[in-house]
Structure 1
């Protein structure tokens, strides 16, 4: 009997419990009967023996113990599993329930899932017992029949039969082991006749290529392969037939998966023959598609790493070569602006200021290019240490304020900051400088920029809120790519490197960077995990940007 069609009798004087249990079991597709007292329950059992009984202990006319005792005294009902379900939770009550023949005990209030699990467990036990008894009876019958046959034969025939049985058993075990190895092998095994027709394919063909073994039987192996491989595979199969049987010939073939894509198989082929008279070729093949992809990815990664190294060397050299003339230009502009300011007219003074501003801009761009090159080449290590974040932020904010004419445009709020927090100060400074510089640059001079820094349990959160020009939807997906700038920046100067540097620094810190932008402003949110003392003390624990 299947568990889902089992007949269950519920005996409980509480109608609510009765209805709840009956409804729950009916949803599990059990056939459910109900009884509100012991007399009704005994009549119901006599009318039709249930597969399992859920029995309350406290009933109006008799106890559940009495009912269970009566059931166990009759051969027709003694094997019915009885699960007591009661609000009596004393150990003595539970011991007595098992003593009178109960198989399980569920305390009220009960969990539906627990009741279902216990019922299912007992039904499975009953089903297994019935099946074992049936098998035992069948086995006993077979033993008796076989014994009668063996008794009728002579001693010589008995000896011959025993020897033959041993040989057959050894053969079956050998065949079973061989079949198990073939059917469970991850590699694909094919048997081909001399014309290359598939006579057998192992079940692994379904796992590797999506075909059933019967789909390939009678097919030409060559016609199943990539058109560009067919000629060379035909020649190799001919070479296998001309090679001594114990010498394997390596093959690499492309086979189309049933889903449509091509798989590359690494194979060994050699001559094969068996006792049935079959002779041909056995092919043992392994799917190396993923391995080839990984090797290709590794080569691409190595090439990318090499390119990043070259870029870093180039940018380092270029930065070094440009810094000297830029320094000369800046120094000359400062000398001109200070020593001859009295003799310069307004136009000349503005031109000197332009020279100074442009040279500073070029110097900043060179620094940004060198930073992004170092980050992309994974030459920037993550070095956290305890720092006073508030002091560092105040210094950065003062510098940004000064660089924008000293006009008070930045409003800052700190929440819950510790005296010192373990993070990488250089990375944090780069993050705050670039985000704040962008917020000020893309906002009008009269618009305020808010900086909010909050320390939580295991992270700090930095928010930069501006009221500037916002970021167009079309530009948001590429926002953190190097040299990318929004479509709405107009003539505002910029290199498109700031946010790319911020993203790399946040990733290197193991943090998270997000933003929300509308036409009236943008909010950038940076969350950085606070490093533990273990990370600070162990110099081997380092992270790099992937």
Structure 2
């Protein structure tokens, strides 16, 4: 029976190789020499992996073992293109089909290889022809494009006279539009000036209220025993005046602030102490039974940053929390300093911000619909964001109508040691 099979495969024009279950070649036909250069006698007794390229050469025996162990057919009965190795070491593209053969109780594998060298050559030739055709098409397209451009130019020349007649009319229309834009800019400038004056009064209101409150209290402290209290309020007035001066400077250099060019000096200071003093300052105009609670987390409270900028930010956030929260409510202030970031949060129990308007919150002069009855200019949070941009900080918030708002600012912690 084996002789008949051997005689049969010798009559096949494609290469035929028969291996046993260990991958050893037991027979092949003469066509193998024409394709791969080996005679059947040179192949018999050798592992079929000698005809394979990487990575299949090193893994072939494992492929056989896995197939015989699991019974899973991954390539049996499936034709695929692979690279075979010629006797001279060159690579030969072939199409490989593998089938199983059981003979006298033994399992064999029959591989049929069809040389694809000519097909690859034809494919390459077709590719080259296609490239040549594409080049010719591109050349034709270029010639067509040039012809179209010439026709277009001729058309433009014919239309030039008509266009020239329209120039005067278009210039008149442009002049009218320019005048209209100038008038619009003038109206906007006038509105901006009006809003600027209103904004200035808004920003000055907090320190002025603190000064007025302290002056009223100083009038009550007329005895020697109350000297300490008078000094406390005198210092508060000084601080508020200093804050007024700083705010005025910020307004006078608003354009620089918006461009991020404003550079303030930095200091080492106690953040907790600054927050507590700011809370005390704004508490003078808190509503009836409003309570401001402060908590600092962590052992460190000293930072290196711009004291006045941080204070202006805190005054804005705390003033807004007081203004937009009802009487008999709490305002929670917290701070934490970790290895890289200084974080301060202000949470109120106020009216909140409508969800559909939250994206406009940091716009200049924006006022939410539910806050129009409360005095304000809509510039406070805009300035807060600009302050934070100047010190590489950020501000985020979470808010819902009638559920309050939480603002959180983060600034990088700088090393001052």
Give the alignment's TM-score, normalised by structure 1: 0.39
Structure ranking higher on relative contact order (CA contacts 8 Å, 6+ apart): 2
Give 1 or 2 for the bigger CA radius of gyration. 2
Q: Structure 1 or 2: larger helix share?
A: 2
